[in-house]
Amino acid sequence: MNSLGKHILKNNLTRGFYITTLFVLLMFGSLSAQESKEQSVNKLEQYSDNDAQVLENEYTASLKKADTLAAILTLQKLALLYGHQARHKKSYNKLWQALLLADASKKKMLEAFIYRDIGRHYSYYKRKTKALKFLNSSLDLKKELVQNKEIKDEELANAYLAFVATYRELNDLKSAKVYLDSSAVFLKNSTQLRDKAFYSFEYGVILNSEGNYEKALKAFRDCLNWFSKNLPSYRVLINTYVGDVYKNKQEYGKSENSYLEALELSKSYNVHKDFTPLIYERLSDLYLLKGNKDKAFASLKRAKELDYLYFDSRSATNRPLLEIQDEFLEEKNRQITANKEQRLQQLEQEEQVLFLERMLLFVAVVGLILFINNIRSKHKAEKKILRKKREFEIEKNKEVLELKNKELATSVIKLIEKDAFIDQLKEKLSNGKGDINRQEAKQIINSIAVNNLDNWSEFETRFVAINKKFYTKLTKKFPELTANDQRLCALIKLNFSSKEIAKLLNMSKESVHTTRSRLRKKLKISRDVNLKNFIASI
């Protein structure tokens, strides 16, 4: 092949592929929540100018009826038709009109498909960044619909396949494979035969690039039946890639037949015209391998002519596409500007009223703050007075309590002294030999014992009355304490020594120590804890 032929093949190897996949994806991608209506997009197989005029009339009629869905679907059909005829400017314009309608009517599923198709248009002229931006917008919308449970997650496979086609056409098969794997995740349990067919086709392309020729041919055969029944025009692409496999296998006769059949299908269905330059380039390369230089030159010449027609910047058909304008964004900006102007007029009319309202609100707020601060200050002052009064009462009660306990302790001490005197008297009477006989002495002793018991009961009653909270807490915290235990706690609280307690309770000092040890166990305190301080804290 001469240098001119090599140069054309090198520069045009991927460009012809850019156009093809968009219109194919429209054929299977427009199926959504409104699938029953949108299936009609897939029925266009052969195209003519008459078809375009019919669709234009349908679009006008849909607008008159205010049938937005029908208008959008008709615009998609027109975009598909013009795209197959390589009239890309018209196709692109129809997609933007459809996007404006879909956005205004909040039809997010259709909006997702249109974003994808516009992204594919950008990829035709190697505007990769723009293309991926729109494809990602389409994918994000579909993910949002899945999250809101408006569509099934299997619909995401369709969006990922759009990335696969784009990267395939950009000869980045490594990235294409990544997105193909992503689509496979959502196709595992999918019922969408159309997505599975397109997956099989793209998988065949990947397998061929990896040298797995037999598996590639099987993948193409697996999807051929579905395409033959539902989308026969797509066999243009299938036959082209099958021809590539046979060429790699050096089965040149089968390769040539596949390429020629692809050209015949494009002609008979009047589709994929912009793909034909690549088919002729493949044929030129094939004829060189076979040694037929005349056919190679003729095919290369035809490829150059078609490439100029569909892709050259000097072509009147394609020149407008080199400066693609984002009409949708421009329209959005116009709407935003109009809304701002309308809002400014409204603000000018309301400005004085708003100023007065704000002034009144300011005065009201300031007055309310002052009123609240005044109430708060009074409340704080009252709380301070009540707190001081309460502290004074508590202090006074403590002083009264201490005074009464001192009086009580004094009376107890007198009782102890009295009991000591009585004990001496009892001893003398018990052993005495005076005028009092034993019967009279016994009566006196019993009377003294009863009097002692009454004295203790009186003391206990007075102690409980004075230290009511102490007794209540003691009983609540330690319900297992006996009356003698409680009596001992009372005497310890009054700061009596073991000797004084022994005299008062009429027991030995050692017994008092034993009783105190038992009390410690019942109170569950160790010997390190001061018993008097512990009881005083109750």
Structure confidence at residue 420 (pLDDT): 66
Among 313-317, 473-477, 524-528, whose mean pLDDT is lowest?
Answer: 313-317
Q: What is the mean pLDDT of the chain?
A: 79
The enclosing H or E element of 275 equals none
Of residues 242 and 355, more confidence is placed in: 242
DSSP type of residue 524: T
CA nearest neighbour of 16 among 240, 325, 298: 240
Q: What confidence category does residue 453 fall into, taking pLDDT thresholds of 50, 70 and 90?
A: low
Rounded Cα gap, residues 236 and 259, in angstroms: 9
241 neighbors 16 (Cβ within 8 angstroms): no
Burial of residue 297 (CB within 10 Å: 0-12, 13-18, 19+) is middle
Structure confidence at residue 534 (pLDDT): 92
Q: What confidence category does residue 103 fall into, taking pLDDT thresholds of 50, 70 and 90?
A: confident
Segment 163-167 shows an average pLDDT of: 93
Structure confidence at residue 444 (pLDDT): 60
What percentage of the chain reaches a pLDDT higher than 70? 72
Q: What confidence category does residue 219 fall into, taking pLDDT thresholds of 50, 70 and 90?
A: very high
Best-predicted range by mean pLDDT (23-27, 160-164, 333-337, 494-498) = 160-164
Segment 459-477 shows an average pLDDT of: 79
Q: What confidence category does residue 154 fall into, taking pLDDT thresholds of 50, 70 and 90?
A: very high
Q: Which residues of 476-503 are buried (b: 16+ CB within 10 A; e: fewer)?
A: eebeebeeebbbbbbbbbbebebebbbb
Q: What is the pLDDT of residues 36-74, one digit of tens each?
A: 333 344 444 445 557 788 888 998 998 889 898 999 999
pLDDT at 318 over 80: no
Q: What's the half-sphere exposure (Cβ side, CA atoms, 13 Å) at 477?
A: 14
The enclosing H or E element of 468 equals helix 468-477
pLDDT at 205 over 90: yes
Structure tokens at 143: 């993910």
Structure tokens at 388: 């001081």
Structure tokens at 21: 């996949």
Segment 179-185 shows an average pLDDT of: 94
Segment 172-199 shows an average pLDDT of: 93
The enclosing H or E element of 107 equals none
Structure confidence at residue 429 (pLDDT): 67
Q: What is the pLDDT of residues 65-83, one digit of tens each?
A: 989 899 999 998 888 888 7
Structure tokens at 419: 């009991």
Of residues 269 and 159, more confidence is placed in: 159
Rounded Cα gap, residues 285 and 243, in angstroms: 12
- For tokens 């490829």, the residue is 303
Structure confidence at residue 439 (pLDDT): 61
Segment 80-102 shows an average pLDDT of: 81
Of residues 91 and 284, more confidence is placed in: 284
What percentage of the chain reaches a pLDDT higher than 90? 33
Q: What confidence category does residue 119 fall into, taking pLDDT thresholds of 50, 70 and 90?
A: confident
515 neighbors 488 (Cβ within 8 angstroms): yes
Structure confidence at residue 1 (pLDDT): 41
- Residue 301: C-alpha distances to residues 2, 231, 265, 294, 530 (Å): 12, 30, 21, 11, 114
Q: What confidence category does residue 118 fall into, taking pLDDT thresholds of 50, 70 and 90?
A: confident
Segment 193-222 shows an average pLDDT of: 96
Q: What confidence category does residue 34 fall into, taking pLDDT thresholds of 50, 70 and 90?
A: very low
Q: What is the pLDDT of residues 415-432, one digit of tens each?
A: 666 666 677 666 766 665
Rounded Cα gap, residues 422 and 311, in angstroms: 134
Rounded Cα gap, residues 276 and 294, in angstroms: 19
